[in-house]
């Protein structure tokens, strides 16, 4: 089933040769080692990405930066680089060696993180952050391409889930260790240390991943990456999945940007109380969601039912109800409890969304499919979603309407409903593809 190539649901589909024979797939301890090193790669990618958020005040004071400059450091660089570089790096991973692309990306962002620790000006630090973004733009697509080449189809959902688990783990470690180390040794030591460890992980990846099987000769290898991207987006089934990713971005970005301020402002929690309760629950749900979602996806694919997007879609619909209730709950702890299904749904979706994208794209285009899904969820939603929440909240406050931030956050359950409905439609089309002889 993972060999299905779908240019359009209405067009004829063909089967491409498998990327590797069963003897070439990693198994046992070898497979476990690959999954662990990929988990470390994604965890440190997340750590290096979020460190400026943790260290922002110390960096701002030391380098005499403005809030605008801090905002440019933490937001614009990644959005621009993801938009411009993710697709060509994904294409390079599809066409050549995903191990080479992944290791190169890890080394680039790690070296740039280390150099950031020596920054003496805004411009130098900004250049290092663009370098970090350059490396991280290709990390997830190359990691997924490596999984497809090295892990058998019956275990790929679990492998993608383990890889995705690096996000919640990296977030927890980054916030906890980054802040604590910075308080004792300073922000420069944090960046230099994180970069140095990343370099070691990159070298470890070379040893553990091993040579990747050659990609069979297919027509898609000779296509420019933009043409391949447009070809994928021209497929109705992939377009529905991409649309679901866009709605997911409009749900997830405001949820993580404003849930904690909402709890502090509306229910009187302290920053410490929210950080411990909300942060720990988010990390726990991230681990459960990515691992459980990966195993469930593998089972769904093996069952042959074609229902490879129904479970996350249903969870999104449930989360939309509980999140709406959380925004109007009478007590703070009830609100936090009602936020939990939303936390779970976002992490649970990762192996399902990427796994389905790989099934639709077919051999030789999995990394590019990953990149397009990431762009769908990572550009418009994070850029506009929090802004919409802020505008609604400010307007409500100006009109003396209570719970203005809660009203603005209604974009989260609204977008979650749309994501769930879109995925249900996409599931019908993916199922039609998988049931074809």
pLDDT in tens, 216-269: 554 445 566 677 788 888 888 899 999 999 999 999 888 887 887 888 888 888
217-226, 279-288, 290-299: range with highest mean pLDDT: 290-299
Average pLDDT over residues 294-301: 88
- Count the neighbouring beta carbons within 10 Å of the beta carbon of residue 194: 23
pLDDT at 216: 57
CATH number corresponding to 26-215 = 1.20.1250.20
pLDDT at 434: 60
* Pairing of β 4-5 and β 14-15: antiparallel
- Count the neighbouring beta carbons within 10 Å of the beta carbon of residue 379: 17
Average pLDDT over residues 333-339: 94
pLDDT at 383: 74
45-59, 107-121, 292-306, 387-401: range with highest mean pLDDT: 107-121
pLDDT at 394: 86
H-helix or E-strand spanning residue 15: strand 14-15
Average pLDDT over residues 320-346: 94
pLDDT band at 348 (very low <50, low <70, confident <90, very high): very high
pLDDT at 3: 37
Q: How far is CA 249 from CA 153, 367, 415, in A?
A: 28, 20, 8
**b/e per residue 324-344 (b: at least 16 CB within 10 A):** bebbebeebeebbbbbbbbbb
pLDDT at 418: 97
Report the C-alpha gap between 233 and 222 in whole angstroms. Answer: 18
pLDDT at 2: 35
The 10s digit of each residue's pLDDT in 146-203 is 998 888 888 888 899 999 899 888 877 887 788 788 888 989 999 999 999 999 999 9
Average pLDDT over residues 411-430: 92
Average pLDDT over residues 288-314: 87
Average pLDDT over residues 46-71: 79
CATH architecture of 223-437: Up-down Bundle (1.20)
pLDDT band at 4 (very low <50, low <70, confident <90, very high): very low
pLDDT above 70 covers what percent of the chain? 86
Q: Where are the domains of the chain?
A: 26-215, 223-437
In sequence order, what are the beta bridge partners of 198? Answer: none
- Count the neighbouring beta carbons within 10 Å of the beta carbon of residue 285: 21
H-helix or E-strand spanning residue 364: none
């Amino acid at each position: 089933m993972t060999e299905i190539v779908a240019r359009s649901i209405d067009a004829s589909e063909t089967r491409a040769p498998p990327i590797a024979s069963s003897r070439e797939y990693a198994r046992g301890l070898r497979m476990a080692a690959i999954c662990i090193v990929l988990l470390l790669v994604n965890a440190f990618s997340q750590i290096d990405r979020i460190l400026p958020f943790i260290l922002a005040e110390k960096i701002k004071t030391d380098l005499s930066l403005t809030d605008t400059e801090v905002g440019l450091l933490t937001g614009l660089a990644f959005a621009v680089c993801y938009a411009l570089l993710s697709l060509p790096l994904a294409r390079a991973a599809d066409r050549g060696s995903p191990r080479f692309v992944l290791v190169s990306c890890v080394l680039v962002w790690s070296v740039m993180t280390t150099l950031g620790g020596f920054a003496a000006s805004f411009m130098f630090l900004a250049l290092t952050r663009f370098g970090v973004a350059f490396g991280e733009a290709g990390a997830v697509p190359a990691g997924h391409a490596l999984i497809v080449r090295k892990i058998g189809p019956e275990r790929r959902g679990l492998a993608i889930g383990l890889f995705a688990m690096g996000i919640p783990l990296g977030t927890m470690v980054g916030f906890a260790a980054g802040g604590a180390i910075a308080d004792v040794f300073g922000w420069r030591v944090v960046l230099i240390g994180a970069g140095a460890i990343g370099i070691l992980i990159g070298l470890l990846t070379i040893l553990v991943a091993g040579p990747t099987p050659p990609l069979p000769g297919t027509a898609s290898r000779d296509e420019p990456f933009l043409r391949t991207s447009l070809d994928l987006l021209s497929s109705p089934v992939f377009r529905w999945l991409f649309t679901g990713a866009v709605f997911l971005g409009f749900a997830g970005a405001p949820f993580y940007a404003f849930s904690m301020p909402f709890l502090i402002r509306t229910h009187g929690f302290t920053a410490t109380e929210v950080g411990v309760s909300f942060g720990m629950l988010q990390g726990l749900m991230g681990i459960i969601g990515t691992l459980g979602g990966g195993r469930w996806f593998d089972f769904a694919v093996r069952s042959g039912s074609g229902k490879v997007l129904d479970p996350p879609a249903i969870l999104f619909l449930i989360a939309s109800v509980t999140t709406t209730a959380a925004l109007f709950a009478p007590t703070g702890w009830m609100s936090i409890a009602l936020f939990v299904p939303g936390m779970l749904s976002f992490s649970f979706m990762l192996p399902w969304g990427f796994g389905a994208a790989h099934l639709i794209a077919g051999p030789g285009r999995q990394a590019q499919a990953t990149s397009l899904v990431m762009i769908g969820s990572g550009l418009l939603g994070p850029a506009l979603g929090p802004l919409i929440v802020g505008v609604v909240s400010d307007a409500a406050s100006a009109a003396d309407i209570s719970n203005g931030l809660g009203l603005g956050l209604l974009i989260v359950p609204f977008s979650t409903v749309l994501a769930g409905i879109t995925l249900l439609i996409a599931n019908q089309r993916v199922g039609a593809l998988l049931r074809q002889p």
